[in-house]
Amino acid sequence: MRRLAALLLAPLLLGGCASVRTLDAAKPGAPLIYAGTRLDWYALNGGCCPLDRFGAEAPRHPGLDLPASALLDTLLLPLSIAAELGLGLQVIGGN
């Protein structure tokens, strides 16, 4: 179980997960739902301009990153749908 977790988290530590990169990009008009998974898939299929389409560069090894991005995108799906629909969640952390 620990090996599986380490394998899924390794792309986050090895140059950035596509999901994290697309969240940081905040490019207007970029896809939000499963954005990291879509960026990996785009790169695997020879997409020419990920920066223009997603606002982020594809990871160096998109095939290795794909499972971790799919998992993270699935966990973030409710927030992605809310953002796509334009709902402001007003989430505040701390004390």
pLDDT digits (tens, 9 = 90+) for 52-87: 888 888 888 888 889 988 998 999 898 888 888 877
**How many domains does the structure of the chain reveal?**
1
The pair of structure tokens assigned to 90 is: 């007003």
Q: Please tell me the distance from the alpha carbon of residue 35 to that of residue 51, in angstroms, as a whole number.
A: 13
Q: Flag whether 3 is in a domain.
A: no
Residue tagged 């994290």 (tokens):
20
Confidence of residue 11 (pLDDT cuts 50, 70, 90): low
Confidence of residue 32 (pLDDT cuts 50, 70, 90): confident
Q: Flag whether 8 is in a domain.
A: no
Boundaries of domain holding 38: 16-85
